[in-house]
Structure 1
C-alpha cells in the first residue's frame, strides 16, 4: 500500500549569501533526532539529493553549494549558551551529508531563528534595540555571538545593510566567532604543520607554496599566479573548466592529507565540505559578477574560494573567518597578498563584490591564537510551514 507523505515543521531561511532548511530538533521524526543514517536520509530527501541530474528539482535545494544546506536547532546543553546549532551540508549528486564543518553564512540566521522561535527568554528581548544570542556551533564546538536587531519586540529583518552577493538590502546582523581557530582537535593546531607557509606537492602541478589554516573552517590558501590565474576570476572562468576543477580537487585532497584531516585520497570524496581551497592575489581593479566596478584602492587583496567543488559566487562565511585570521598573522600568503605587516581588519574582493572581516591575533606560548573574528551579515525568513517527504522506509 502506498503511504501518504509525512510533513515536518520547517523554516526556509537566507543567511548571508546562503540559504537552507531550518528545523527544531524536537520537530524532526524520532529517528532523525539523533545522528545517523536515518537523519541523513531524511535531510537528503528534503533537499532533493542525491540527484544524478545535479538539479535537485524534487527537493528544497537549488543545486549549488550555497543552497544545499540544512540546519538543526535545539536548546543548548552547553552552559552559557542559548542554542545548539548543527549544520549539515548535503551533497548534490551523491548520497551523503557532510557534518565536518560550519556554515558561516547561515550562522547569521541562527540568532533571528532563536529569537523568533522562543529560544530566548522574553525578558531579554528589548522593545527596540539589540539582543545578544550565544550560539554553540556543534559541528566544530565553538561559540558564536550574534547581535540580533529588534524592532517592536520582534526580529528586524528589513534594513539598508547591503551585502555583496545578495540582491536586496536587509538589517545588519553582527557576528563574533570566538576562538575560531582549531585548538587541538581534528587536524591539530591552527597551523597543522606549525608553519605559516608550507610546500605542498600535487602530482598534476608539482610543488606549491600554501598556507594551511584551521580557523573558521580548514582552508588551503594558494597564490593565484602559481596556478595560472590573476585573482579576479568570476564563476564562469572556473566552473566551466573541468580541468581546472579537477586540479583544485587534487589540491584539496592532497592538502587535506597534509592537514591531518584525512588519511587517504579516497576519503576526500566523502568529505567535500572541508577543507576549502582559496587563491589570493594583491588588490587590483575588476568588474564583479553584478557589474559593480571594484577599484584597487578600495580593497586590500583579492580572494576566490571553492566550495563543494565549484567556485563560490561570493565568499563562504567560515572562509571569510579564515581569511581574516590568516591576514592578521604576518607571513601567511593572505597577509603577504594584503601587503604584509600587522592588521586587524581586511577588505577583500570576491566574485560578487567586497567583504570586510576583522580578526585579533595574539601569541601565547609562541603559538598564534585568534581571540575572535568579526563580520556582518544579514538574514531573512523566506518561507515557514512544513516540508513534505515520502515516509522513510
Structure 2
C-alpha cells in the first residue's frame, strides 16, 4: 500500500500511475454535499481528461438534465454558452448534488478545454441515473416531433399508459401490484422504435435512445420499489452500468470514462454487507463486465466537518455538521494515522489489518440526521477489496449549492438517499 500526502494536484501522481491502463475510473464520495470531495474529484478529473485522454464524465444524475450540460461543455448545437445556465435548470430534488458551484467550475473548465479541440475529440458529460421518467418522455416527444413523426404514436401510447398517475410514478408502481396497470408493452414498443433510429448516426438519435432506456428502466424501477427489498436498488445500479457501457460503445474503441457517484455505488458491493442483502452496485458490475484491471474504484472519506443535506425527504437543504466518526470506525482510525489530506493506493502483500479486515465505513446520504450518527450511517467494509484507492480528508466543509427551483424527488430504496 502506498500513502501520499495531498497538497497539490500533482500529488495525485501515484494514483494516475495506477489508472494508466484503466478504461473506467470511478470517483466516489461519502456524502452528496461535501465541498472537499467535489473539489478533489474535480482536480483529479481535470488531470484524467488533460493528461490521460478520458473521453467523458458520467455522473449519478438524470440523463436529460446532464444532456443540457453536455451540450454546453461540448459547445454543441443549442447548448448554453455558459454551463452554469444548464446547471441552474436542474429541478428534481436534490438539486444540490449537481447544481452547485463546484460542478459549475469544473464544467466551465471543461468547456474551455473542449472548444480548442475538434468535435470528435471533445470530452462529454452525461447522466447515468434512472429517475427522469417524465423528463425523458418529453425529450422523446421533442425529438420525434422533429425527426421521426411516424414513431410518435409509440411514444404517445407509453405516455397515455403512465398519464393516470400524474407526476408521481411511484403511484404507478403501487397500482401495478393490484391491477393490470403495467406499461411494459407500451415501453417495449417505444424502446424498439427509438433503437431503430439510434442505429443511424447522430448525437440526437443516441440521446433519444437513451431517454427511451430511461423510461424502460424507470418502469422496472417503480414496480420493484413498491415491492420492498433491494430489487429496485439493483434495477437502478444495473441501469447505470448499462448506460455506461452504451456510452463507451458510442464513444468508440479506446474510449475511457470517469464516473462520479456516491461510495455506495462506486465501491464494490461484494466487499460490504450489501452482498448479504442480495444487492449489487455499479462498481461491482463494471468489474465483472470489464475486468479488475480495466476498472479503478476510488473511495472518499472524512473524520468530521460540514455537509449539505436535508433533514427529511424533499425538504430544503441545510448546511450541517457531521460529528467526529465513531470509535472503531475506519474514519476514526484514519484520523489517528494519516495527515489532513492523503491518497491511499492499495496493492501488494504489505497491507494493514484495517485494509484487509472488516471495518465500519461512514456513508451519508441526501437525508441526514447528525444526532443519529452513532446508530447509523456506517457500512461494514473490507476497504482494500471495495476500492483500489482511497482519498482521505480529515475535516471538511459544506458544498455551495446554486439557487434552484426544486420539484419533489422520487423515493429511493436502500441505502436511503445514496
TM-score, normalisation: structure 2 = 0.28
Q: Which one has more relative contact order, counting CA pairs under 8 Å at least 6 apart? A: 2
Give the helix-richer structure, 1 or 2: 2
